[in-house]
Amino acid sequence: MEYTEQQKSAFPRVLAAKENWKDRLSEMPGVTGVGVCLRQEDGRTTEDLAVLIACSSAARASITAALPNDIDGHPIEILETGDDGVGGDPELPEPDAAAARVDPIIGGVQIQAADKPGVGTLGVVAKASSTSVMLTNSHVVYETVGIEIDQPAPVTIGSRICGKVTRATKQNVSYGGSQYYVDAAIAERHGFRARSFSPFVITGGITVSGSATAVLGEAVSKTGIGSGVTQGTVYAVNFDDTSLNRKNIVLVQSTTSGGKFSEAGDSGSVILNSSNQVVALLYGDAELGSGAKVTTACAVGAVESAMGVSFT
């Protein structure tokens, strides 16, 4: 999916308006984030770009009353969140004893940092120069370079080691002249009788076909150990989570029955568009004021830059 010519023309102006106003908006009590989304009208999504303001449910009335009619000529959308906004890393769940051991290593499977509690998802095997590497979240591997990775969680400590973390980042990084939040880690093949890696393959017969910038309103999917295969749409881009100072993240809303695009354990999953291109790396989710959930993810370009990886 691509933006229309009108959206391509409008996007830089809406993004500039968001940047111009974010400090003022962030000073308003209850505001938890600012980004770019599509305008909603009578319960439907339009093609018009808007400045998204996230705020706690309790603060919505006062914030709405204090806002101008538009932001530098662009419409405003309000997203109700909990008091903590959309930030925070989910707890890593206990291992699934029935999780399968895979050989060769592919994406969408259970992994665990050796000797640590909790498990996450291996998003996909990517390429770092000519080396195949496992891609997941930094928080899944406890932000520790050198830690060994088990797949799946071991029956006994160290019994299923297949990789060792060579790079891990969980912070805002410079990318494209701006700051982007990246929670990512890569691990290389490692361990006695280590298995081979199968690049770009995800369980279920999915083959990743490169990467692309997330487009507002496009259909996306992910495969994770928490909730399996789910579908959603890109709800917001260039979203600054002001509660945790996480810059230019991607927000995804579910279109899957049950209303959840992600759950605990899905950390590290890659989010794909309809062409099976990676658009983001899933790292968390949050409950909204409506009771629905929104998934938080790192923009793929920033992940590729910070980790030195590619998906082709």
Please report the pLDDT score of residue 303 as a whole number. 98
Return averaged pLDDT per consecutive 10 residues of the chain, 312 residues in all: 95 98 94 96 93 94 94 96 82 91 96 94 97 98 97 77 97 98 97 90 97 98 97 98 95 87 96 98 88 93 98 96
Q: What are the extents of the domains in the chain?
A: 1-82, 105-204
Number of other residues whose CB lies within 10 A of the CB of residue 145: 15
Domains 1-82 and 105-204 share a fold: no
Q: Give Cα separations from 229 to 67, 226, 239, 259 (angstroms).
A: 39, 9, 25, 13
* Cβ–Cβ < 8 Å for 165, 145: yes
Q: Looking at the DSSP assignment, which residues form a beta bridge with residue 220?
A: 232, 273
pLDDT of residue 245: 94
CATH of domain 1-82: 3.30.300
Q: Does pTM top 0.85 for this prediction? A: yes
The CATH homologous superfamily of the domain defined by 105-204: Trypsin-like serine proteases (2.40.10.10)
| Confidence at residue 157, expressed as pLDDT on a 0 to 100 scale | 59
